[in-house]
Amino acid sequence: MKDRRVVVTGLGMLTPVGLDTEMSWKALLEGTSGIGLITQFDASEYPVRIAGEIEGFDPEKYIAFKEIKKMDRFIHLAMAASEMAMNDSGLVVNDENANRVGVVIGSGIGGLPAIERHHTVLMEKGHRRISPFFIPMLIINLASGQVSMKYGAKGPNTAVATACATGTHAIGDAFKIIQRGEADAIIAGGTESVITPLAVSGFASMKALSTHNDEPTKASRPFDKERDGFVMGEGSGIVVLEELESALKRGARIHAEVIGYGMSGDAYHMTSPAPEGEGMARCMDSAIKDAGIDPSLITYINAHGTSTKFNDEHETSAIKRVLGGHAKTVAISSTKSMTGHLLGAAGGVEAVISVLSIVNSIVPPTINLKNPDPECDLDYVPNVSREIDIECALSNSFGFGGTNACLVFRKYSGD
């Protein structure tokens, strides 16, 4: 059976630079940083005091008040981004199609805030004070579960947990499920919210985080020689993927087509990428081959670009390995320079950004790129967004444990 074509009909994201898709996209094009001092707990004595927080988020806009306490914040964010994506798509789940509509939403860490809060309750007040909703509010698959229940989606319902590659794997898995004919539409992406004492302490102890506490907006600086680590952020990025004929039949607006998905494993180190980005390169190459296109059609890359020394250098090497001489002509940007690293939500948000870049023929910049690392010598769209006609965009995500995921999106032409 010939593989079915899969398109993007809905987009939703909330990030440290915006409470919805439109606000986030506008801020990204303007090169706005969402990094500031941590307010979710008192970090004044911590070595890292900065993060990308979502300010002013009100879960009551998206979730019934009595249900809010049954979910941790990462689920709140997923519910919000999913509603944005579903509203954008116009997809209605009913008795006729419910079994053919699925949900694949992942998180890298899940309900760590709930764990920290309830551990304190246990130690101070005893086991009888633990909420009966504690387990459902923290486990990763309840983001998918809650979204499926909200819309009555009875098709495939799974969750992905592959660290920083989570959102990309979730969308890629959903793409393949639809392509194989096992569903007609899937709500897919990633979500994360773990700006907590334990998470910040853990990442800081690994020396993975930037300590530019005095200049938060300049702390995330991918591909810059002065970069000193990533900045934690929170958010959610969700897409509605749909089989092409299903989308056309209901007259849906099609943002772009998903044409390729690649996965690989480094089998090298817990946190460091393989030398020269060998695993990254295999993943990108796999996605491009799955798409069935010549590498020269890649016009834009939304880089993983974490602002850590080895990731940025190795991703650069990997892009050169896969694209050859064409690598020098491709526009590449790391939107983590503005949002920070959203961990399990990063791939979902960056997929939305990649699609919006195709639709609007403009790519966000890599801000804070003032002193380029000589080892990072490609075109990273420094500091100012750029208008560019995009045929195909590649979105990269690489996670701890050496897990890699890449997606290829193409401008939808209707042919």
Give which of 88, 74, 254 is closest to 161, Cα–Cα. Answer: 74
Please tell me the predicted confidence (pLDDT) of residue 272: 85
Tell me the CA distances in angstroms from 16 to 8, 193, 235, one per residue in order. Answer: 24, 11, 7
3-state class of 219 per DSSP? coil
- Span 360-365, average pLDDT: 98
Contact criterion met (CB below 8 Å) for 260 and 288: yes
pLDDT at 89: 98
For the segment 362-379, the average pLDDT, to the nearest whole number, is: 97
Residue 29: partners with Cβ closer than 8 Å, 6 or more residues away: 362, 364, 385
Domains of the chain (ranges plus CATH)?
A: 6-249 (3.40.47.10), 260-410 (3.40.47.10)
* Residue 268: CA count within 13 A, CB half-sphere: 18
Q: pLDDT band for 135, please (50, 70, 90 cuts).
A: very high
Q: What's the pLDDT score for residue 3? A: 83
DSSP-derived 3-state class of residue 121:
helix
Quick check: is 76 catalytic?
no
Which entry of 118, 212, 304, 314 is annotated as an active-site residue? 304
The percent of residues above 70 in pLDDT, for the chain, comes to: 99
Residues β-bridged to residue 102: 186
Is 341 a residue of the active site?
Answer: yes
What pLDDT is attached to residue 415? Answer: 67
Residue 276 is predicted with a pLDDT of 87
- The model's pLDDT over 163-189, given as tens digits with 9 standing for 90+, comes to 999 999 999 999 999 999 999 999 999
Give the active site residue among 283, 341, 376, 392. 341
Choice among 164, 283, 392, 406 that is catalytic: 164
Is there a contact between 407 and 172 (Cβ–Cβ < 8 Å)? Answer: yes
Mean pLDDT of 251-257: 97
Longest dimension (CA), the chain: 64
Q: ∠ CA(92), CA(76), CA(200), 5° rounding?
A: 145
pLDDT for 1 beyond 50: no
Helix (H, G, I), strand (E, B) or coil at 224: strand
* pTM for the model: 0.97
Write down the mean pLDDT value for the chain.
97
Query: Is 164 among the residues known to form the active site?
Result: yes
Q: What is the per-residue pLDDT across 374-401, written as a single tens digit (0 to 9) for each?
A: 999 999 999 999 999 999 999 999 999 9
Per-residue model confidence (pLDDT) at position 2 = 61
Angle, nearest 10°, between helix axes 278-291 and 309-323? 40
Q: Flag whether pLDDT at 218 surpasses 60.
A: yes
> What's the pLDDT score for residue 403?
97
